[in-house]
Amino acid sequence: MCMSTRTAQNKVCEHCNQNFTISEGELSLYEKVGIELPTICFFCRVKQHLSFWMFGKFRKTKSDLSGESMITVLPESRYPLYTLHEWHSDKWDPMDYGQDYDPNRSFFEQLQELQEKVPHPHQNGSKNTGCDWCDDVWNSKNCYLSRSMEECEDLYYSYRNVKVKNSIDMTICFNTEKSFGCSDCHNSFKIFYSKHSRDCIDSYFLYDCRNCQNCFMSWNLRNKQYCIENVQYSKEEYEKKLKSFNLGSHKVVLSLKERFEELAKKEVVHRQNFNLKAYNSDGDYLLDVKNCHNCNTINDSEDCYNCMRGLREKSNIDANGCWYSEMLGNCSCCLYGYAEKYSVWSSSRYSEYVDLCIECENCFGCVGLKKKKYCILNKQYDKEEYEKIKNQIITDMKKRGEYGKFLPYSMSAGPFNFSTSFLYFPETKKEDILKLGGYWQEIDESHIEGTPTSELPDDIKDVSDDIIIKPLICPETGWRFNIAENELAFYRQNNIPLPRKHFDVRTREALKYLTVLRSYPVVCIYCEKNIEAYYPPEWGCQKIACEECYKQNIA
């Protein structure tokens, strides 16, 4: 790698053929972290990384070790699955799968052979009770068909929440209770169908409101009560109006959602980005960061480039889903790592091309190891042999054009259309992923009997108790889903109509508005300055404000 003179470089992406630039700042961090320069653009890098993280359909299966039954989102045939508990036990030894390096074959090919033999844990998480039908769950209780959460309780069909309780259909929310259908809401209680709001109570269809109570279909409000479409009413008028809305009807809620979307386009003043306390940084959803560039959904981090979905990161570049880590380059889902390169799901140090390696040091091309040193393809070497073989592999990989590239799509977690990547890149075509060596799966559940949701009673008050034993058919995917007993009680109590679509479809729809990685040039509605904002033109948002004007006029 020659980088004695650091001037920005222009390249053509090997995956999508678009031009991309490596800036001087990036070059200096690539050099510091010590990784090869990328050959694919930022978006193709993120796309590949997130394809190693499943957003699969929940399914029941059995452990390949003990036959114990378990629930997983991982695919059927990529690798053996053990229960999480078994995987962490000493009932098996990953070194049993060790392979010699064969210089006559592609290293990636050999690593993939190893990866497909080594068992993977059936799910991710710890310290949960009653959360079997969940994935990526930590310190939570009685949650159901939900993913990626910390300290949640009685949470159903939700994604990426922290401290959310007694709620359904929540996406990226924090400290919120007894709520339904919200995204990016914080510290709230009994809020429904709301977005980007904080410290609100007993309200419906709020968009960017703070400290509001008993408000309906309102936006950009601060410290208000009894407002409907931003118009002030008396308590009595408000309550009378609210009763007349008939919120238990599916048809009514649909038309209210349409109105809400129209207001988001025409009336809401949108913030240029959702950054808070971001110093010398750019990106979106940044909180308490310093010198972070082109980052997204990152907290408490500094000196990073091109990172998304992380916490406490330092000097990382091209690291996605990497929490509590430092000096990482071209890595995906690596927590507690230091100086890892081209790795996935590993918390190790000074290692390259490792997958699922926990607390290892100086390992190269290994899968599923715990507390090992100087291993290659799950075989033990002494320090000298290790260095020698590692250097030989790197030389061979360079000849084949492999070294410095991330693990190929053929090693990704499973079907691309059931990976986290598909949430961020839903336009991706099957043929493009297959061309890159990845996987795709169509799930047909038409063999299971069920009731089309178009036949459901319009109003929740007309739903009978036996609905909980009827499988329902999602009109978009044809997938079957059920109404759980507690779920029905929640809908009745809060006057919410039954959902018409499968919960994964609902989550995908909510995420559409929270997964924008690209900024677009717009003009500030107030000062008419040219700014970069995270609102795709097709959303049709007409009022976008620069940070300063937003602060002056709204916050």
Q: Which is nearer to Zn ion, 183 or 428 (CB)?
A: 428
**How far apart, in Å, are the Cα atoms of 117 and each of 49, 78, 434, 458?**
21, 9, 22, 50
Does position 549 interact with Zn ion (CB under 5 A)? The reply is: yes
CA dihedral (114, 386, 355, 30) positive or negative? negative
Structure-derived torsion over alpha carbons of residues 270, 276, 282, 288, reported in degrees to the nearest 10: -160
Binding segment toward Zn ion, per CB under 5 A, in 352-360, 438-446, 452-460, 540-548: 540-548
Q: Which is nearer to Zn ion, 8 or 16 (CB)?
A: 16
Beta bridge partners of 21: 10
Q: Closest separation between CB of residue 47 and Zn ion, Å?
A: 8
User: Residue 366's Cα: distance from chain center in Å?
Assistant: 26
Q: Closest separation between CB of residue 425 and Zn ion, Å?
A: 11
Cβ atoms of 184 and 198 within 8 Å: the answer is no
CB contact burial 230-246 (16+ within 10 A = b; e otherwise) = eeebeeeebeeebeebe
Q: Closest separation between CB of residue 424 and Zn ion, Å?
A: 14
CB contact burial 465-491 (16+ within 10 A = b; e otherwise) = eebeeeebbbeebebbbebbeebbebb
Q: Closest separation between CB of residue 244 and Zn ion, Å?
A: 39
Q: Which of 22, 29, 44, 298 binds Zn ion (CB under 5 A)?
A: 44
Site map (CB under 5 A) of Zn ion, residues 81-100, x = contact: --------------------
Q: Which is nearer to Zn ion, 269 or 357 (CB)?
A: 269
State residue 344 phi and psi, 5-degree precision.
Answer: -140, 140
Q: Which is nearer to Zn ion, 84 or 269 (CB)?
A: 269
Site map (CB under 5 A) of Zn ion, residues 517-536, x = contact: -------x-xx---------
Q: Closest separation between CB of residue 115 and Zn ion, Å?
A: 25
Q: Which is nearer to Zn ion, 292 or 545 (CB)?
A: 545
Does position 432 interact with Zn ion (CB under 5 A)? The reply is: no
Write out the binding residues for Zn ion, residues 127-186 only, by CB under 5 A: none
* 220: amino acid identity, one letter: N
The phi-psi region of residue 336 (left if phi > 0; otherwise alpha if psi is between -120 and 50; otherwise beta) is left
Q: Closest separation between CB of residue 538 and Zn ion, Å?
A: 21
CB burial class (10 A; 0-12, 13-18, 19+) of residue 39? Answer: middle
Site map (CB under 5 A) of Zn ion, residues 456-495, x = contact: ----------------------------------------
**How far apart, in Å, are the Cα atoms of 308 and each of 188, 286, 362, 365?**
26, 10, 26, 24
Write out the binding residues for Zn ion, residues 3-42 only, by CB under 5 A: 13, 15-16, 41
Strands 379-380 vs 451-452: parallel, antiparallel or unpaired:
unpaired
Q: Which is nearer to Zn ion, 338 or 526 (CB)?
A: 526
Q: Closest separation between CB of residue 186 and Zn ion, Å?
A: 25
Q: Closest separation between CB of residue 30 and Zn ion, Å?
A: 17
* SS3 readout for 23-59: CHHHHHHHHHHCCCCCCCCHHHHHHHHHCCCECCCCE
Q: Closest separation between CB of residue 79 and Zn ion, Å?
A: 28
Does position 254 interact with Zn ion (CB under 5 A)? The reply is: no
Q: Closest separation between CB of residue 210 and Zn ion, Å?
A: 20
Q: Which is nearer to Zn ion, 490 or 550 (CB)?
A: 550
| Structure-token match 């008993």, residue found | 214
> Residue 413 has which token pair?
């977690």
# chain residues binding Zn ion, by CB under 5 A: 10
Q: Which is nearer to Zn ion, 44 or 209 (CB)?
A: 44
Binding segment toward Zn ion, per CB under 5 A, in 238-246, 391-399, 465-473, 539-547: 539-547
Measured CA to CA, the distance from residue 103 to residue 97 in angstroms comes to 19
* 380: amino acid identity, one letter: Q
Q: Which is nearer to Zn ion, 432 or 445 (CB)?
A: 432
DSSP state letters, 368-417? S-BS-EEEETTEE--HHHHHHHHHHHHHHHHHHT-TTSPPPGGGSSSBGG
Q: Closest separation between CB of residue 332 and Zn ion, Å?
A: 16
Q: Which is nearer to Zn ion, 336 or 526 (CB)?
A: 526
> Residue 86 has which token pair?
């078994």
Binding segment toward Zn ion, per CB under 5 A, in 73-81, 170-178, 219-227, 547-555: 547-555
Q: Which is nearer to Zn ion, 161 or 330 (CB)?
A: 330
Binding residues vs Zn ion (CB under 5 A): 13, 15-16, 41, 44, 524, 526-527, 546, 549
